[in-house]
Amino acid sequence: MILSPHIKTSKSIQQPSNSTQPNKANMADLNESIEESQENNNLPKVFLHGPPEFSFILQPNPSHNFHILNPSSLPPLHQFLSLNPHHASSIAAIVCTGGYTVNADVLQLLPALRLVCTPSAGTDHIDLSECRRRGIQVAGAGNLFSEDVADMAVALLIDVSRKISAADRFLRRQVQNVSWNFPLGSKLTGKKIGIVGMGRIGSEVAKRLEAFSCMISYNSRNKKPLVSYPYYSTVLELATDTNVLILCCDLNDQTRHIVNKEVMLALGKGGIIVNVGRGALIDEKELLKCLIEDEIGGAGLDVFENEPHVPKDFFSLDNVVLSPHAAVVTSESLMGIRQIVEQNLTAFFSNKAPITPVI
């Protein structure tokens, strides 16, 4: 789900020498390194909010116009603040990974916070309205991940339509030299595609599928004046008129389970659902039922309601393709996101606007 575990295998990136879980033995080290950091008193303070491996995201550099409080050992925020209460009122920015919540409770602990920097495609882990209320800016990943996520959406769609993963599985299990008898797939070119969420990712998906002569229409919170594709005000209407639904929208109170049983039945037998948004956009139990009962044709899923737990019943289905929340996990995105975080912090602390603002 996050890029950080992969830093260990990436040759091009320097590793901090010790990325270990904080424990009693290195509490002393923690205090020592905090004392050293007093020398950088004048620079605004940045805290890395994530698991130990998240230290990959930003490495100390003398040219920085900010100071990272916890560059190599990443204690949980609560633990860090209880050991260093004076820092509570000095942390000006946090870099937080997807899955590490930044809600009112967290913001309460950081009265001096002015910027939240999140190197993830989604922002559902951040209470954006609370940040807005407190005048805290939020910077995201901008367009960095859009291409990789769009590529994943199209990959899943082609795979489900043409049964690529199922066919590869079939061939590797096949007894040699027996004639191949593999079921036919369904044609993708020219299909009617309904995109739910026409933001950066939705637009990149649309652009790719237009090259397959697909007919694009969409649903979004509001009609986009600069978008020429037909707009549908509800996902239900969109599903009724299309063969494929691709979910590219944010997860929030309005979009939870936006794809429910009614929508799936409207999409119909032979219909395909692709989800590169968040698992909870779909009623997962209902999806499983519809797939098993052939009410819809198939599904390509990169996200699930309770990752990394995927209901076992999916595993025996040949009309689904399952992906471990890997839409942004490419070498190219890894290199790019570290650059973006650094650029956002540098700009912000030079009194400029963040490069990739979310709000």
Residues near other proteins (CB under 8 A) = 1-3, 5-6, 9-10, 147-148, 150-152, 154-156, 158-159, 161-165, 167-172, 174, 176-180, 182, 184-190, 207-213, 307-310, 314-315, 321-326, 329-334
Distance CA(337)–CA(334), nearest Å, equals 6
Least spacing, CB of residue 126 vs other proteins, in Å: 21
Among 130, 237, 295, 307, the active-site one is 307
Give the count of beta carbons closer than 10 Å to the beta carbon of residue 261.
15
List CB contacts of 25: < 8 A, sequence separation 6 or more.
none
At closest approach, how far in Å is the CB of 329 from other proteins?
6
Question: Whose Cβ is closer to other proteins: residue 25's or residue 178's?
Answer: 178
Q: How many CB atoms lie within 10 A of CB 313?
A: 12
The answer to whether 310 touches 284, Cβ cutoff 8 Å, is no
Is 49 considered catalytic here?
no
Residue 325 among the catalytic residues = yes
- When the beta carbons of 74 and 188 are compared against other proteins, the nearer one is 188
Of the listed 64, 200, 325, 338, which one is catalytic?
Answer: 325
Q: What is the identity of the amino acid at 91?
A: I
Q: Which is nearer to other proteins, 88 or 158 (CB)?
A: 158
**How many angstroms separate the CA atoms of 342 and 176, rounded?**
54
> CA quadruple 254, 255, 259, 263: dihedral positive or negative?
positive
Q: How far apart are CA 181 and CA 183, in angstroms?
A: 7
**Does the annotation count 307 as an active-site position?**
yes
39: how many CB neighbours lie within 10 A of its CB? 9
Instruction: Identify the active-site residue in 200, 278, 286, 342.
Output: 278
Shortest Cβ distance from residue 355 to other proteins (Å)? 20
Which helix (H) or strand (E) element contains residue 128?
helix 128-133
C-alpha 193/C-alpha 340 separation (Å) is 32
Smallest distance, other proteins to C-beta of residue 213, A: 8
Task: Name the residue nearer to other proteins (CB basis): 132 or 207.
Answer: 207
CB 357 within 8 A of CB 138: yes
Select 84 or 118, whichever has its Cβ closest to other proteins: 118
Q: Least Å distance between CB 7 and other proteins? A: 9
CB of 277 to other proteins, least distance (A): 17
Q: Answer whether 299's CB lies under 8 Å from 160's CB.
A: yes
User: Contact at 8 Å (CB) between 68 and 60?
Assistant: yes
3-state secondary structure 33-55: HHHHHHHHCCCCEEEEECCHHHH
Catalytic annotation, residues = 278, 307, 325
